[in-house]
Chains A and B, each alone.
Chain A
Amino acid sequence: MPPRDRGAPEPAGQRELLSAGDVARTIARMAHQVIEKTSLGASGASPVVLLGIPTRGAPLAARLAARIAEFSDIGVPVGTLDVTLYRDDLRRKPTRPLGATALPPGGIEDALVILVDDVLFSGRTIRAALDALRDAGRPRAVQLAVLVDRGHRELPIRADYVGKNVPTARAEEVNVLFEETDGRDAVLLRRAGERA
């Protein structure tokens, strides 16, 4: 077992990449980047909509919106976009339950939609999200925000806002935990071949 360098003790085979404090700071930094890159609030700028991809993209989107409101005094509409029905790997796994799709009341027509997810890996979830988005409306542009980019892309997809780049081996597992879904905030890396 590797030595634990910080934070609370983790189950065997897991290493903490980001502590709760790191997660909060990372989200705050991403919020600043969104404000700057989208010229939020400037006249002529497109309205911004955050769409979280369930499960953990949803709380991340809500927190980003809260930080953005705190730093800029602008309330950005938040929604969720479930991509299960658009996945290309449904037949490789047992039947998946559906997540919630809840578009903000104003819709996404002509908005700058920022898709929000916890981990960017193969890019297939985001491809599915782009298809799902097309059925939901026609945004002016689409951007992508992720808390962790762990590499190993299988499609030409990149994120516009990245909380942390983590070089990983393909067999490793990156687990993002949020208070809302898991009872605490952390990002954990599980080593290849080890099971908790």
Chain B
Amino acid sequence: MRHLLSTDGLDPATALAILDTADGLKRTLLGREVRKLPTLRGRTVITMFYENSTRTRVSFEIAGKWMSADVVNVSAGGSSVSKGESLRDTALTLAAAGADCVIVRHPASGAAHRIAGWLAAAGTSVVNAGDGTHEHPTQALLDAATLRDRLGRIDGRRVAIVGDVLHSRVARSNVHLLTSLGAEVVLVAPPTLLPVGVADWPVGAAGSLRVSHELDPELPTLDAVMMLRVQAERMHGGFFPSAREYAIAYGLGEARARMLPKHAVVLHPGPMLRGMEIAAAVADSPRAAITDQVANGVHVRMAVLYHLLAGEEDNS
């Protein structure tokens, strides 16, 4: 694997290999005092964040450091980007400075793909850490890792992704990944928060995709429910009448959580808006796997770096 740009087109065998590596890393580090592996010694990883982030950036940085890579963080605010340097020039500069891997978050959909094209000659790997409303593949991988931990397996499981699907790269990446691993995915959202043509999204042969506008009838048959944040920063218009009305129709309150089967898991990619898409009591309940997701995020990102950087050069 040379780049990780999307889960669309990521073959299930590679996805499962990454999940298995993440699992192996987790077990290797479990209970260890010194959480440091020499595997990526001498490799340089640069994170390039053009959007705010806490968990993704921190977990990539920790993942790189636990694997002994040298990790350098560049953020748009404190870099030459604020002087007007183009994305292409910044990317070429970082590659020329010796980056083996560039991890990019950018508000424009497709930014990571463009950078991968520009850096083809440099041999630098590119990881998409979220590009606009397009994809966030490592989030989908860590969600899959968490589901596998909690439910034992992904194929045949029914997972609802609820809320602002329109603006959500997490939803898009999860639809591709979870269906290719054999899950039945249900997208639940008001019509205004669903992208055009969502019903025709390509899905993995092993899984299926369905769209619904109502949450309550779905709840009793779900194995997992993933609540999405309402992305106010990407909304330029009225998508629903009021926050309160949204919370009533699509928020996961305590009464709704009781309609889920006993074993069902609640996921949220974070950051959470408590009281909006998820009630505080649900977010803190034992069925919520939200902190597991963060912990798995580090192991999954270590696994991604391992698959990109530890093997022999792969030019595919």
Contacts and interface: CB of A to CB of B under 8 A. Distances in A.
A86 B38 contact: yes
B36 A95 contact: no
A37 interface: no
B22 to A, nearest CB: 9
Contacts of A99: 24
A98 B21 contact: yes
Secondary structure class of chain B's binding surface, majority of residues: loop
Nearest to A134: B34
B1 A95 contact: yes
Given A90-B39, A135-B32, A135-B34, A96 B24 contact: no
Contacts of A97: 17, 20-21, 24
Interface in B9-35: 17, 20-21, 24-25, 27-28, 32, 34
A91 interface: yes
| Residue of A92, A94, A95, A101 ringed by the most chain B CB atoms within 10 A | A95
Contacts of A95: 1, 17, 306-307, 310-311
Contacts of A98: 20-21, 24-25, 28
What bracket does the count of chain B residues touching chain A fall in? 20 to 34
Interface string A83-125: 0011000111111111111100000000000000000000000
Given A95-B1, A131-B38, A82 B24 contact: yes
A131 B38 CA distance: 9
B211 to A, nearest CB: 37
A138 to B, nearest CB: 11
B233 interface: no
A85 B311 CA distance: 11
A57 B308 CA distance: 28
B63 to A, nearest CB: 13
Nearest to A128: B38
B312 A85 contact: no
Contact of B28 (A82, A94, A131): A82
A85 B27 contact: no
B38 A85 contact: yes
Contacts of A91: 310-313
Interface string B285-316: 00000000000000000000011001111100
Interface in A10-48: none
B43 to A, nearest CB: 9
Contacts of B306: 85, 95
Contacts of A85: 25, 28, 37-39, 306
Given A85-B37, A96-B310, 14 more contacts: A85-B28, A86-B38, A90-B39, A91-B311, A91-B313, A92-B312, A93-B311, A93-B312, A95-B1, A97-B17, A97-B20, A100-B24, A131-B38, A135-B32
25 contacts: A82-B24, A85-B25, A85-B28, A85-B37, A86-B37, A86-B38, A86-B39, A91-B310, A91-B312, A91-B313, A92-B312, A93-B311, A93-B312, A94-B311, A96-B311, A97-B17, A97-B20, A97-B21, A97-B24, A98-B21, A98-B24, A100-B24, A101-B27, A101-B28, A135-B34
Interface of B: 1, 17, 20-21, 24-25, 27-28, 32, 34, 36-39, 306-307, 310-314
